[in-house]
Amino acid sequence: MRQVSAKGQRIGPFRLVRLLSEGGMGAVYLAERADDEYTQQVAIKLMRTGLGQDPAMLRRFRTERQILADLNHPYIARLLDGGSTPEGWPYLVMEFIDGSPIDQYCAAHQLSIDDRLQLFLKVCAAVEYAHLNHVIHRDLKPANILVSKNGTPKLLDFGIAKLWEPESAESGTPAHRTGRFMTPAYASPEMLENDVPDPRDDVYALACVAWKLITGKLPFKAKDPSAARNVAQLACPRELSRREFRALCHALQFEREKRTPSARQFLLEFSGAGSKVSWPVAAGIVVSMTALIAAAAFFALHPVPQKTPASSVAPAVATAPLPTAPLEPAPGQVFRDCPTCPLMKVLAAGDFQQGTPAGADALAFEMPQHKVTITHAFAAGVYDVTVGEYSEFVAATGVGANNCATYDGTWRVNPTVTWRNAIESQTSSHPVSCVSWHDAKDYAAWLSHNTHQVYRLPSASEWEYAARAGSAAQVPWTTPAEACAYANVADQTAAQHYHGWTVLPCADEFVQSAPVGSFKANAFGLYDMLGNVFQWTEDCWTDNYQGAPTDGSAQSAGDCTQHELRGGSWFTQPDFVRNSYRNRFDGNYRSSSIGFRLIREMPQ
């Protein structure tokens, strides 16, 4: 059999356009939809010629398909479809990332060290998520990390990944090995020897990637990649601090047992746990803590026969265990209560001035400004609840709802639009929209039941406290031209589609909602508090703050058929995308500009 490769060849509803790359498993082509249903570009991966006759390789290819189907993360390329050609050749249809390898992107954009680290931290978050789902990548390198034009990194090529099965439940023996698909310059010594894969192999590769991003070079320059790699012979580059150098050397140890046991631990050591670091680095540290706490929750809910304690990050790192995770995360930490639960961050108690002081910009329903004291820590969603997270709830409960208001120049209620198809080209990483206040409450109740924790909508005070993030300013940007770095707002991109809009003098490349986390986080490490989609709160609507609660609780008086919305959206007039702006709709209303995020109560 020949491999399908000719330009113009049809694969399902797609037509091949050009070859993008070739690797150990097969070739990847740019393709476009050819059935006239809608316009779409994708990447199609086909089995390499000759491998298709090997039953083991066919099983491996199908395993890759299932791996990708099970991974749902904003920094991992998505699987869209899969199947076999008429000749019997298996293929994958994947998200096409129009971008550059992360090292080339950093060089071309002359990114600062802090900006490079921000990209790297997102990659680490994706790796931790994969490890949590028992997947080891095994070929982490810059070429497998593409950064899109809007600066979003995407981890590619799980063709060499392996489902993480450290031991057989029946025999207690190590899982079988598979073929050598790796890049020697980034591969750990164990990978070069075709040893059983381990999360610490990915940690080793991450350290190589970090070294390359910061210094422009690889840590080991020996021509023979299998030669002993002695960290004692490494000199600290001028671009690295002594702390960063020590952390990299720990992750690059020749023997696994001496190597940093997890990506989380690597980031803590690299950034200096407990030291005063800039907020971008601090945000990355707490994101990196997710793996330990979430993994503990995962194994508690899904026991796996193993010899090591369930509190370990993984059975494979039993020789270098991490300290046991606390029962409850502390302020500043990030966690998930289950593998598909929303990512949460614990915020410390505090006080702030809610509303807008009297003046020219103040609206009546934002006054009077008043002090609110929140005496309890609580966890806030790092992102809005996503389409992928909400789909878990719908799949489990069968709940469904139509009749959503969408915008095409005019707002209209469309009986065929739901949260599944709220906007064009929606992905699982987009914020869920077309959900009512009651829908959001139902999701929170379901999540609470499943996790045995209390999830709920935030009060308007809790929301504004999280949005302000310790600042008295109305927005995190200083000039209107900077807004598009921080929020998905009505901008020049939208003005090209909707003429006559009042827009900001910048372009964020999104007409309607954007995938969560596409813009800078606020000082608390929370994304999309402003713009993108409005967020429901618990509060009943009142026309002003007279008699409003001052303890952070929700307003239970007033018109409880309507509930408060905060944050503005992609549609909102720019002046109203600010921390104090309030809006409201009926609790049954659904719109493609409205979503929600949750808070989780913390034991006092």
Sign of CA dihedral 224, 120, 162, 290: positive
Q: What's the pLDDT at 527?
A: 94
Q: Tell me the percentage of the chain whose pLDDT exceeds 70.
A: 79
Residue 131 in this model has a pLDDT that exceeds 60: yes
Q: How confident is the model at residue 240 (pLDDT cuts 50, 70, 90)?
A: confident
Dist. CA 245–CA 154, nearest whole Å = 26
Is the pLDDT reported for residue 553 higher than 90? Answer: yes
581 in the same domain as 545: yes
- Residue 288 to residue 275: CA distance in whole angstroms: 16
- Answer whether residue 281 shows pLDDT above 60: no
Between β-strands 14-22 and 41-47, what pairing exists: parallel, antiparallel or unpaired?
unpaired
- The predicted pLDDT at position 54 comes to 61
pLDDT, average across residues 181-199: 82
Of the three residues 278, 308, 325, the one that is the final residue of a domain is 325
pLDDT for residue 587: 96
Residues 108 and 197 occupy one common structural domain: yes
Mean pLDDT of the chain: 81
Task: Return the DSSP state at 452.
Answer: T
Q: Do 376 and 519 fall into the same domain?
A: yes
Round to whole Å and give the CA distance between 33 and 39: 6
Overall number of domains in the chain: 3
Mean pLDDT check: name the lowest of 149-153, 277-281, 490-494. 277-281
Mean pLDDT throughout 99-107? 94
Instruction: Note the pTM of the prediction, 2 decimals.
Output: 0.53
Range of the domain at 484: 350-601
Task: Kindly state the tokens that stand for 173.
Answer: 């023996």
Q: Is the pLDDT of residue 294 over 90?
A: no
pLDDT confidence band for 9 (50 / 70 / 90):
confident
Split at pLDDT 50, 70, 90, the class of 310 is: very low
What are the residues whose beta carbons fall under 8 Å from the beta carbon of 200, sequence distance 6 or more?
A: 188, 256, 259, 260, 261, 262, 316, 317, 320
Q: Is the residue at 291 inside a domain?
A: yes
CATH of the domain at 214: 1.10.510.10
Type of residue found at 1 = M
Residue 333: inside a domain, yes or no? no
**What is the average pLDDT across 66-78?**
79
- Residue 556 maps to a domain: yes
pLDDT tens per residue, range 105-122: 999 999 998 889 888 888
Integer CA distances (angstroms), 328 to 105, 133, 296, 297, in order:
38, 22, 11, 11
> Cα dist. 2→16, 106, 177, 461 in Å?
16, 39, 29, 64
* Boundary of a domain, candidates 95, 123, 154: 95
For residue 341, tell me if it sits in a domain.
no
Confidence of residue 181 (pLDDT cuts 50, 70, 90): low
Co-location of 195 and 248 in the same domain: yes
| pLDDT score, position 480 | 95
- Structural domain contains residue 335: no
CB count within 10 Å of CB 310 equals 14
pLDDT at 436 over 50: yes
Q: Are 490 and 591 found together in one domain?
A: yes
**Residue 126 token pair:** 């994706």
Q: Give the whole-number percent of the chain exceeding pLDDT 90.
A: 48
Neighbours of 144 (CB within 10 A): 24
Pairing of strands 41-47, 90-95: antiparallel
Select from 468, 118, 131 the least CA-distant residue to 282: 118
Query: Quick one: which H or E segment has residue 374?
Result: strand 370-374
| pLDDT tens digits, one per residue of 512-524 | 999 998 899 999 9
Q: What is the pLDDT of residue 604?
A: 77
Q: What is the CATH number of the domain that holds 15?
A: 3.30.200.20
Beta strand 378-381 pairing with 370-374:
unpaired
With CA atoms as reference, report the closest residue to 457 among 567, 559, 532, 370. Answer: 567
Q: How confident is the model at residue 277 (pLDDT cuts 50, 70, 90)?
A: very low
Task: Report pLDDT for 314.
Answer: 33
Segment among 136-150, 188-202, 520-534 with least mean pLDDT = 188-202
pLDDT value, residue 109: 93
Q: Could you tell me if 51 and 160 lie in one domain? A: no
**H/E stretch holding 155:** strand 153-155
- What is the dihedral angle through the alpha carbons of 273, 278, 279, 280, rounded to the nearest 10 degrees? -90
* Domain identity same for 354 and 475: yes
- Residue 509 in tokens: 């490349």
344 within domain boundaries: no
Mean pLDDT lowest for which of 122-126, 264-268, 537-541? 264-268
pLDDT for position 51: 47
pLDDT score of 33: 86
Distance, in Å, from the CA atom of 425 to the CA atom of 431, rounded to the nearest integer, reads 13
The amino acid that residue 106 corresponds to is C
**What DSSP letter does each residue of 15-72 carry, written as one string?**
EEEEEEEE-SSEEEEEEEE-SSS---EEEEEEEPTTGGG-HHHHHHHHHHHHHHHH--
**What is the distance of C-alpha 394 from the center of its chain?**
21
Residue with the bigger pLDDT between 37 and 386: it is 386
End-to-end CA distance of the chain: 66
